């Protein structure tokens, strides 16, 4: 397959991963009485200039990661997935994961939620991002999601969401089988 078609293939995978993550969120919310949030107001999009600009409004505690570099990384390594998680016009989180040259593992390179504890998707950023990355990894026939250089304070949160340290001290989770 020509490289150009590969880029299109991964673009389709990203769109399908966004759709699956939102579909699962809608199913989970429908089973709650009452639901925690209005899923119709949640959207996943690629990280673009609008998302990067919105992250600068997170204040001194936010946008600690180099989100402006993601555009370059997406061009250099098109086999990855990036997502901006919005609730209406409020950016609540972003994530970037890429397998680089691995045929087994996709690395979660960047993940950040808006530090404002009152944002509407507090507690949902990692689970939604993980669902999308997992779907993307399945379509890409990868076996593991690995957190690259996890912040020590975030490790318990990753572990609560199913990650474990493997024998090589990598923080990983197995990709779900369909």
Count Cβ atoms below 10 Å from residue 168 Cβ, excluding itself: 7
pTM greater than 0.85 (yes/no): yes
Q: CATH topology for 3-174?
A: Aminopeptidase (3.40.630)
Q: SS3 letters for 96-146?
A: EEECCCCCCEEEEEEEEECCCCCCCCCCCHHHHHHHHHHHHHHHCCCCEEE
Q: Which residue has the higher pLDDT, 151 or 135?
A: 135
71-75, 93-97, 143-147: lowest mean pLDDT where? 71-75
What is the b/e burial string over 92-125, where b = at least 16 CB atoms within 10 angstroms of the residue's CB?
A: bbbbbbbbeeeeebbbbbbbbbbeeeebbbeebb
4 pLDDT band, cuts 50/70/90, is low
Q: 34 preceded by cis ω (within 30°)?
A: yes
Query: Looking at residue 7, what is its pLDDT?
Result: 80
Q: What is the pLDDT of residues 5-40, one digit of tens each?
A: 678 899 999 999 999 999 999 999 999 989 889 999
Q: What is the pLDDT of residues 67-80, one digit of tens each?
A: 888 888 888 888 99
């Amino acid at each position: 397959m020509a490289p150009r078609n590969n880029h299109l293939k991964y673009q389709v995978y990203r769109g399908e991963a966004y759709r699956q993550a939102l579909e699962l969120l809608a199913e989970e919310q429908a089973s709650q009485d009452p639901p925690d949030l209005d899923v119709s107001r949640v959207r996943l999009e690629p990280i673009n200039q609008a998302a990067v600009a919105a992250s600068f409004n997170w204040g001194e505690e936010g946008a600690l990661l180099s989100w402006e570099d993601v555009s370059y990384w997406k061009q250099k390594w098109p086999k990855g997935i990036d997502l901006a998680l919005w609730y209406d016009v409020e950016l609540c989180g972003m994530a970037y994961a890429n397998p680089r040259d691995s045929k087994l593992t996709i690395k979660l390179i960047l993940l950040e939620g808006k530090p404002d504890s009152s944002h509407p998707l507090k507690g949902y950023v990692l689970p939604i991002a993980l669902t999308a990355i997992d779907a993307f990894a399945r379509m890409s026939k990868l076996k593991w999601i690995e957190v690259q250089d996890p912040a020590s304070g975030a490790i318990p949160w990753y572990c609560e969401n199913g990650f474990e340290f493997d024998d090589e001290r990598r923080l990983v989770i197995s990709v779900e089988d369909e």
